[in-house]
Amino acid sequence: MAYCYINKCLTGITLLMLLLVKTSYAAMQQDTASVAPARPGQVSGIVLDEYGNPLQGVKVINKGKNSTLTTGKDGMFAINAIKGDALVFTAANYNARQVTVKNTAKLTVRLIDSYIQAPKTINVLYDTISTSKNVGAISTIYTNQLTSTPATLYTYALPGQLPGLYTQQYSGFAAPQTGVQTVNDFIGAVVQHNNYSANDNTEFGLSLRGQGPITIIDGVQREIASLDPESIESVSVLKDALSNMMLGINSSRGTLLITTKRGQVGTPHISFTAQTGTQQPLGLPNPLPAYQYAYLYNEALQNDGKPALYSSADFNAYRNHTDPLRHPDVNWFKTILRDNSPMTSYKLNVNGGTQVARYSVSLNYLDQAGMFRTASAVPYNTNNDLNRYIINSDLAVNVTKKFTVDLQLFGRIQQSTQPGAGYGNILGALYSTPNNAYPLYNPNNTFGGTTTYTNNLLSQTEFSGYQRTSSNDVLANLDLNYNLSSITPGLSAKAKGNLAFSSQSFLNRSLQNNAYSFNADSSYSAVGSSVAQNNSFSTVSSARYSFAQASVNYDRTFGKSNITGMALYDVRSVVLNYDLSQVTTNRALKAGYNYDGKYFIEAAANSSGYNRYPPGNQYGLFYAGGIGWQMGKEDFIKDNFSWINSWKWRATYGKTGNNNVDNYGYYNFLQTYGPSQGYSYSTGTSKSPVQGYFENTLANPYIRWEKARKLDIGADISLFNNHFNITADYYHDRYYDLLQVRGNSIALLGTSYPYENLGINLYKGAELTLTYQNHIQNFNYFISGNASIQSSKIIFSDEEPYPYPWLRHTGRSTNAIYGYTAIGYFKDAQDAATSATTTGYTAQAGDVKYKDLNGDHIINQFDVSAIGGNRPLVYYGFSAGFNYKGFSLSFLLQGVANRELMFNNSQVNGFAGVGFLGLTYSGQAYNTILGRWTPETAATATAPRLSIGNANNTANSTLYLRKGNYVRLKNAEVGYNLPYEWAHKLRLSGLRIFVNGENLYTLYGYKDFDPEVYGTAYPIQRVINAGVNIKL
């Protein structure tokens, strides 16, 4: 606790010192800066940015007199105008401002950043290029589109904003790592492989055109999703072969490119944001009250020909709550879960510098509380809690006019706390424990329990101690840039070095309390076990990363011709725990040419390798090319369609690689051995016991990386004075040599086949983005929408021979869902007796009736087919907003169509197996079973008859196939910027108050569960957040 207070105090002291420095600097500026006096008939003034600094390049227009000028470096202007004239101030990536001249006093005009940015340059892999030169498929969002989502990770802001990037949330809270990253083998404890790498994003799954993208942060591959959004300049997705070619053997998956803010020349830009919010869990099911549960449980028993368990007296006691000890009715969701939980963050960002040295510093503190209740009598926190400190700094120095050194330092300290029983275990028990299982407490204040439920839920939540996972990260980037124009104009050299260390440790201070059953004779029986509080510490994981890169770059213009080139070499080493290092090497060349900004051609090749392939076969050649045509510059467009500002066609094609060999084993080309599971045998005269060893999966000395051939054709269009922008792409990606196991019989071989490069999958689709931005006087507004459609198909899979065509996966979608085809319920005993059923099962009226696909009158594996997931997936986003005289509003709608999911679990079936080996079928039941089949409801039933442990009725089938389509109000924000004149009196550059929210409303066809996060996962959260931003 003292540690936390020290950190908070240091943050406060740092902020105070920066405030004093900035205030002093501003005061000095105020005393020295002045605006040149205007001549008669003129109005003069100065244009400032959000930090109160002069803004260069602002166009100033006198609407009535058609007079125009542009501000210089000092931001000043003097324009012909008289009282009553309307002056319009416009600049790229700023909201327009209209000011009516009231007198001849000097004007001070502040411009606010526009919500959607459209800079002239974009960040690409290891470089920054002009937007006009890009021929790849790249989509980008900027700071304002990230900060309007209140969340712990920047990934929360991505859904619906980047075409081609499909997101699905799996949890509403981080899942801390608690187990060590080792497995036991016959030689001892061996590190886990499978490309494990510390990743703080456990809540979201990201898929870029069907593949999991690689994250590159400031030119270095690292999976860090907890960066402060205010410190991020841009987030881009690189989707085509050419844009990713510098990754070589890892170029198939696409890239999530994160670029943080760097120091800019100018006075210090200081931004401090404080915000706090409340979280509310969504998608929680409605458990049945105890009396209803008991009644329906009796019905299930009677349907199975078993005697009823509950009497009418029991029903009345449950309903009326007259005997809470022996007839409890505990809503466990309300008992152990909070309705709301807080989340707080503080962010400090400083940016500035001179022509010689530039700096940026970002400090961030975040605390997110979980949804579990706590007991005031317990002296420590047992609720979920995520506590994090981050510092990200950068210093760039011009050592000489030609030599620049840039040093970036990143550090993160994070602690994740959870109840001692583990929040995943608690949620699993919560969803399976019925209201009538046991009372909270017995008469003697011991925890209630039964022989089936031996660990009281309240005890697990509030009185089981705690677990804490601590994560520490340190990262250093060093960039060297040297201008070699003295050798030849346009030549330069770059070098980058990176060292990073990451570690996770686990502190276990959990305990377990006894639970007791209150017997009929008022005695007590212990049904659980008591475990004293642990006090153990272990290292969960450690990782060491190093990266070195050198490149020679060329960019020169000869008349109308522009030539670019790059020769690059890099090597990346990763050491996870105490494993052998993973080393990836790239040796690449890239060249480009464009003529008059109209015709573009670009090509790249990369000899790339990985050290865990067979020696002599560790390198492959990957290549890509692209062409572009700026049709908007052709005379037949310029002379006839003045409203077309730009129309560029582009296309890329390439061969890429996917280095995922570690996901399928450890040094697969080497034969390994494991201990026998049988008895030992005696050998020699001493009859010493010997344990045999056997071959593990066969080695594959020919194993290689997976490959792809990727085609992308797109267009970028700007219309109506660049107010309306269109981006469209079509892609056709064929992935081949996918690692799969042969489907042929292995009976003669005697062991399993290894993974081999066999499979072929096809992904294709289209993406469209439309954006319109404009202003009506001081009303600045934007409308933007994007949509993506993606289909996939298994072209080849070495399947075992199937007797029926519907059993084959080849030709189906990679996302296909397989199961039985439900054709209703057996209407009566005769229907059940004469229809196809599962072997050994006697069907009854009300049971699920399945389609007998092969007509053999038996329902078995030969009647399984693709029942869903075959349609192209559609995902989209729509955002809009405005800014008017300081007031701003923005919102984002995000949705998915053609999505299907299998929702077959205890929440729809009821009475799931619990206790030892799940053999006691008395789990919780929910409102969904109220639609069960009965003779009276046969025509309207939405669920089969109630039954206990009925495998026929719980098999995966179309009965449980649900549409996963939804539209969600993902985020919305309302804010107000204090007028500059008021802020200036407070000695501030700007002050903004705002309220924003996340997951505010969802349109979905089913109740009681969320379309993304469902089952026993930590529920998705609705967040309402308020804050203030101060600029100095």
- Give the three-class secondary structure for 177: coil
Residue 602 tokens read as 């670009």
Among 103-112, 222-231, 236-245, 835-844, the range with the most confident prediction by mean pLDDT is: 236-245
Torsion of CA 56, 62, 65, 69, to 10 degrees: 0
491 CB burial (10 A radius; 0-12, 13-18, 19+): middle
Domain with CATH 2.60.40.1120 in the chain: 34-110
b vs e for 703-715, b when ≥16 Cβ sit within 10 Å of the residue's Cβ?
bbbbbbebbbbbb
Cα dist from 195 to 152, 448, 578, whole Å: 25, 45, 14
Q: Residue 346 pLDDT > 50, yes or no?
A: yes
Is the distance from CB of 328 to CB of 448 less than 8 angstroms?
yes
Q: Residue 793 pLDDT > 60, yes or no?
A: yes
Residue 550 tokens read as 């050198």
Percentage of the chain exceeding pLDDT 70: 93
Domain with CATH 2.170.130.10 in the chain: 121-172+202-262
- Give the separation between CA 195 and CA 83, rounded to whole angstroms: 69
pLDDT in tens, 930-949: 999 999 999 999 999 999 99
> In terms of C-beta distances under 8 Å and separation of at least 24 residues, what long-range contacts does 67-76 make, across chains too?
71/46, 71/47, 74/46, 75/46, 75/47, 75/48, 76/35, 76/36, 76/44, 76/45, 76/46, 76/47
Segment 678-697 mean pLDDT? 72
Strands of 616-749 (E only): list them.
619-630, 644-658, 673-675, 681-683, 688-690, 693-695, 706-719, 724-741
In this prediction, residue 66 carries a pLDDT of 79
CATH architecture, domain defined by 34-110: Sandwich (2.60)
In this prediction, residue 507 carries a pLDDT of 95
In this prediction, residue 743 carries a pLDDT of 83
- Give the three-class secondary structure for 863: helix
Q: Residue 860 pLDDT > 90, yes or no?
A: yes
Strands of 458-535 (E only): list them.
465-483, 491-510, 515-518, 524-526
Q: Residue 13 pLDDT > 70, yes or no?
A: no
pLDDT band at 119 (very low <50, low <70, confident <90, very high): very high
In this prediction, residue 182 carries a pLDDT of 57
Torsion of CA 807, 808, 812, 815, to 10 degrees: 70
pLDDT band at 181 (very low <50, low <70, confident <90, very high): low
Residues ≥6 apart with Cβ < 8 Å to 451:
517, 527, 915
Strands of 577-612 (E only): list them.
582-595, 599-610
CATH fold of 121-172+202-262, please? Answer: Ferric Hydroxamate Uptake Protein; Chain A, domain 1 (2.170.130)
Rg of the chain over CA atoms, in angstroms? 33
Of the ranges 196-200, 273-277, 593-597, 928-932, which one carries the lowest mean pLDDT score? 196-200
In this prediction, residue 473 carries a pLDDT of 94
Cα dist from 673 to 15, 578, 579, 668, 670, whole Å: 59, 21, 18, 12, 10
In this prediction, residue 748 carries a pLDDT of 66
In this prediction, residue 187 carries a pLDDT of 42
Q: Residue 553 pLDDT > 90, yes or no?
A: yes
Segment 656-671 mean pLDDT? 90
Segment 781-800 mean pLDDT? 96
Average pLDDT, the chain: 91
Angle at 616 between CA 612 and CA 621, to 5 degrees: 85
Of the ranges 102-111, 596-605, 927-936, which one carries the lowest mean pLDDT score? 102-111
Q: Residue 161 pLDDT > 90, yes or no?
A: yes
Segment 716-743 mean pLDDT? 96
Q: Is the pTM above the cut of 0.85?
A: yes
Q: Residue 11 pLDDT > 70, yes or no?
A: no
Percentage of the chain exceeding pLDDT 90: 80
Segment 59-83 mean pLDDT? 90
pLDDT in tens, 801-845: 899 999 999 999 999 999 999 999 999 999 999 999 998 899 999
Q: In 3D, which of 656, 759, 660 has the Cα closest to residue 712?
A: 656
Q: Residue 543 pLDDT > 50, yes or no?
A: yes
pLDDT band at 393 (very low <50, low <70, confident <90, very high): very high
Is the distance from CB of 60 to CB of 69 less than 8 angstroms?
yes
